[in-house]
Structure 1
């Protein structure tokens, strides 16, 4: 069933407001219960339910929540396996919960939910002494402290102040209302051994790809073709990077018409900003690109049972691109619990989130990233132009590390690279250190 559940550590004016406001989530039946033996006589812990009868379920003439005795239970959701759990004809699916859930401990409660209940749920269970336990998968529970008491409801705006100071009970968790920061996770199906890397073929995503190879048994590179000027070059380089790292790759298409004329990356190439200007401002912004790519990759990951998605967003570019900011990825991850199927977990990780470009170079080299195979340039010629924003940033990043950038080997004689070490020499030391590179004091 769909409905609102609510409750709190005492019944007062705030509680009455919550009870009335939460009727926007259910108007078919109403049920409320107060604790029988609270430890303090001046407080009255309570739970309640406003029920919305699903189209697939019969309408009952009497209130069917709360259910049980000790604890009393209110429920929001749908139990998909109610018949196999023994729901009797004429009963609501909620009636089975007191019979199948184990309330001997929070751990036992969590385990019985995982093992017995299939479906969606937000549950509040109140014992005779007034203690209230909460549990939910993707169904929401919001909490609000007020004058030493704590209340809960299904939506934030049910609280007297519109939920200004309300906070979310973590999805896929169980815990006590009195200690909402101490929760147990409800375990979900994930496949942490399989990872996708959104790979543009550039410096950052290639560093992340090499990192992912070191962490997971199965890695696949996902490249997005959205019709930019360098598309052909990028796809060729992604193929080379995947071959070098010994992993698979796939190319997904985004119709260029989606972005219209809003993205300068579709050309003409003389529109690209260069130098510092190209590095410090998002002249080549493509509308919602990372959000679109991440959303598509989440669907790809769920369909093919990948548990982790990597993205090469970094601290350097967060100054110009809002979708490179770490908080964006945190916010995106925070909505994935409801973006994938119930009980499935997919997570986005950004190992470069706190790194600048000059820090990404050694990070990638230490993980064996094939920087000599990468393509960062907005233009699609035979060589990196050296002038657009990405070219400018990677050249400066390598120079700060006193290493010659391999994609600019055609200009290593330029005074710009004076005092820098040949990239291939550094790479050979990292990949196959010879005895003479060891510290003689250790022998």
Structure 2
């Protein structure tokens, strides 16, 4: 079976993306600890990597990024408050470029053909989630390995996302619940790091809306 590396946060998007890909690929998950407040997502990633039987799962510590990001965004800053609706303060500068660069290096080393991340059509606010970004990054990475590709030492990679295939967050949920059942509600979306989802942040609100649009009774435990 073909191999794919997936950026695997433990959130509902990346976990559900696995449900779409797992019948076609041997999946290798990669999770990043980059100084985010929501370290609960790393715990969820570990649990779902086992549940979904990923071939391998690596947790990569790039916590030094927190120092580089400083107070540029609310997800790594300890000083800034997380908003309940989208504001550009939520955007972590080229976070997906950092993640996909490392994931792609692993993919070339594994002779994998696909690198996936969970961006969907509802992520249009985020420049590094858009299909045009993924397409250009894919082209740049393959150009960076072009000699190996031409000599058949490396395989060309495709950067895949639900967004590039036209899937919404609700589409992901509909696919994911067929594979995961009620365990889907144990994925972690919240930007805070409490015992349960806060229910107030932008990500929690998007999660609630997506379950409603998908016609799925949301059994996630929210504080609010």
Normalised by the length of structure 2, the TM-score is 0.86
Task: Give ranges in structure 1 of 5+ residues lacking alignment.
Answer: 1-191, 412-443
- Deviation per CA, 1:49-103: give whole Å up to 9, x if none: xxxxxxxxxxxxxxxxxxxxxxxxxxxxxxxxxxxxxxxxxxxxxxxxxxxxxxx
Per the alignment, in what secondary structure is the counterpart of residue 194 of structure 2? Answer: coil
Corresponding residue for 1:235?
A: 42
| Partner deviation per Cα, 1:302-350 (whole Å, 9 max, x = no partner) | 12322211111111111x1111111111111222322225222122111
Of 279, 286, 289, which residue of structure 1 is paired with 2:95? Answer: 289
Report the alpha carbon displacement of residue 228 of structure 1 after superposing the two structures with TM.
0.7
Please state whether the residue corresponding to 2:57 is helix, strand or coil: strand
Distance in 1 of aligned mates of 2:79 and 2:119: 24
Maintained 8 Å contact 2:170/2:214:
yes
CA–CA separation in structure 1 for the residues paired with 2:13 and 2:67? 27
Q: Deviations over 1:221-248 (max 9, x none)?
A: 11011011112x1111001101111123
Q: Show the 5 A alignment for 1:183-222.
A: 193-216=2-25, 218-222=26-30
In 2 relative to 1, CA 378–410 (structure 1 residues): closer, same or farther, beyond 3 Å?
Answer: closer
Of residues 157, 162, 171 in structure 2, which corresponds to 1:359?
171
The match for 1:349 among 132, 147, 160 is 160
**d(CA) in 2 for partners of 1:359, 1:306:** 26
- CA deviations on 1:263-315 (whole Å, 9 max, x unpaired) are 211243761001xx23xx33211111111111111111112322211111111
Q: Which has the higher contact order (CA 8 A, sep 6+)?
A: 2
Q: Is the deviation greater in 336-345 or in 202-211?
A: 336-345
Matched, 1:251 2:64: no
Instruction: Name the TM-score, length of structure 1 as normaliser.
Output: 0.45
Structure 2 residue 207 is the aligned partner of structure 1 residue 394:
yes
CA distance in 2, matches of 1:408, 1:269: 26
In the alignment, what sits opposite 1:136? none
Give the equivalent residue in structure 2 for 1:381.
Answer: 194
Q: Give the whole-Å Cα distance in 2 for the aligned partners of 1:366 and 1:214.
A: 13
How much has 1:203 moved relative to structure 2? 1.2
5+ residue gaps, structure 2, are: none
> 1:262 matched to which residue of 2?
72
Partners of 2:120 and 2:167 within 8 A in 1: yes
Question: Cα offset for 1:401?
Answer: 2.7
User: What is the root-mean-square deviation of aligned Cα atoms in Å?
Assistant: 2.1
Deviates further, 354-363 or 295-304? 354-363
| CA distance in 1 between partners of 2:31 and 2:142 (Å) | 25
- Which one has a larger percent strand, Structure 1 or Structure 2? 1
Give the Å deviation of 1:409. Answer: 7.1
SS at match of 2:9: coil
User: Looking at CA atoms only, which structure, 1 or 2, has the larger radius of gyration?
Assistant: 1
Report the number of matched residues: 213
Determine which of 184, 198, 201 is the counterpart of 1:371.
184
